[in-house]
Amino acid sequence: MSNHDSVRPVEWSDDTLWLLDQRLLPAEEKRLAVRDVAAAADAIRSMVVRGAPAIGIAAAYGVALAVRELHARAGAGWRDALDAPLAALTEARPTAVNLSWAVARMRRRLLASDVAQPFAVALEEARRIHAEDVRDNRRMGTLGASLLTGTDSVLTHCNAGSLATGGYGTALGVVRACAEAGRLLNVYADETRPWLQGARLTAWELQRDGIPVTLICDAAAASLMQRRRIQAVLVGADRIARNGDVANKIGTYGLAIAARHHRVPFIVVAPTSTIDPAVACGADIPLEERPLDELVALAGHDLAPAGTAAWNPVFDVTPAALVSALVTERGVCRAPDRAGVDALLGRDVAAVT
């Protein structure tokens, strides 16, 4: 880890999954001990851990916890009861495909052969998923940084940083790669209502890692572009359809429209595990809606009169046509479309490194 890369939201030690409780940041830095699969699913549902790659990694360790429980209880019959806990993990949140991707990969590994020590095998696979994520983020960081020559300020939305991944981050991994190369970008962070991932998490992790960050309210983003204060928008993704449409945190679509209007490059940084080959276009991506109290109240205080009708979708879809470039660990796809996404999926990672 470098000076600009100090945050790890998911850790395994002492036979326990430790999750940095992101609900408490920036006020409190506390790790939550997760010792069974029900607690892992609950932590994902309640946003102790969030961000597409991070919830995939937490779910992978959750599968290992499930296997440990089932093997202790049922011995050789552990496989017969595997479906229910894996479904609970997969269903904890609907939009980020990394969750079902990680659970499916764990299942394949566990069911592939006669596994005498299933917990050891599951833990090893979860650790591999975790390590690969950090490695891929570093690759994307380098690839993304090469697109930002002549750039000194960028805008980001939500948190697509270390906290949202195994470490290093996707969109913020590009910022970290620039910093490691001696180029400190100024990052404007949208506060990202209603859960405030930008204010609470992006500002926290960048400040901690010595990267300049300037907070803006979401409504200031278009004006920031109009005044030419940024040269690129960098965001992550929760699920990318086969045609290149991108589901990400609510508000991303509006940013992409504003960026196109002002001719600012709109760059999506996401590992290929975020691409869902089973989904043809963005309209088929399930978009999570969360409880209204996350919108109409803040830290226990009402923000609207009691009884106010509200709608709280937490993701939206940006059409591929508004995306300037998709940066993955397998390479960069400019102006992504079905052919470009298929080419990425078919490409060998080794060819890019």
Could you count the other beta carbons within 10 Å of the beta carbon of residue 180? Answer: 16
Does residue 248 interact with ligand MRU by CB under 6 A? yes
We find the least distance from the C-beta atom of residue 337 to ligand MRU, in angstroms, to be: 21
Does residue 96 interact with ligand MRU by CB under 6 A? yes
Does residue 130 interact with ligand MRU by CB under 6 A? no
Report the residue from 21, 249, 264, 324 that binds ligand MRU according to the rule CB under 6 A.
Answer: 249
- Please check whether residue 274 is in contact with residue 97, taking contact to mean a CB–CB distance below 8 angstroms: yes
- Name the catalytic one among 209, 238, 245, 276: 238
CA distances from 20 to 7, 71, 136, 194 (A): 10, 28, 21, 20
CA distance 332 to 350: 14
Does residue 59 interact with ligand MRU by CB under 6 A? no
The nearer residue to ligand MRU, 119 or 188, going by C-beta atoms, is 188
- Please check whether residue 295 is in contact with residue 269, taking contact to mean a CB–CB distance below 8 angstroms: no
Does residue 203 interact with ligand MRU by CB under 6 A? no
We find the least distance from the C-beta atom of residue 353 to ligand MRU, in angstroms, to be: 21
Query: Collapsing DSSP states into helix, strand and coil, what is residue 187?
Result: strand
CA distances from 243 to 100, 285, 331 (A): 20, 12, 17
Taking contact as CB under 6 A, which single stretch among the options 48-56, 68-76, 126-134, 304-312 is the one that binds ligand MRU? 48-56
The residue type found at 154 is V
Does residue 48 interact with ligand MRU by CB under 6 A? no
245 belongs to the catalytic site: no
Binding mask 302-321 for ligand MRU (x = CB under 6 A): ------------x-------
Q: Which two tokens stand for residue 36?
A: 């069974």
CA distance 137 to 161: 10
Q: In this chain, which residue has its C-beta nearest to ligand MRU?
A: 236
CA distance 305 to 297: 10
Instruction: Specify the residue for token string 């380098």.
Output: 142
Does residue 238 interact with ligand MRU by CB under 6 A? yes
Report the residue from 237, 258, 326, 332 that binds ligand MRU according to the rule CB under 6 A.
Answer: 237
Q: What is the DSSP letter of 201?
A: I
The nearer residue to ligand MRU, 92 or 126, going by C-beta atoms, is 92
Report the residue from 100, 162, 197, 324 that binds ligand MRU according to the rule CB under 6 A.
Answer: 197
Q: Which among 71, 133, 152 is positioned nearest to 269, based on CA atoms?
A: 133
Phi-psi region of 187 (alpha: psi -120 to 50; beta: other; left: phi over 0): beta
The nearer residue to ligand MRU, 17 or 25, going by C-beta atoms, is 25
CA distance 281 to 320: 9
We find the least distance from the C-beta atom of residue 57 to ligand MRU, in angstroms, to be: 11
Residue numbers of the site for ligand MRU (CB under 6 A)?
50-53, 96, 158, 160, 164-165, 170, 197, 236-238, 248-249, 314
Give the residue numbers marked as catalytic. Answer: 238
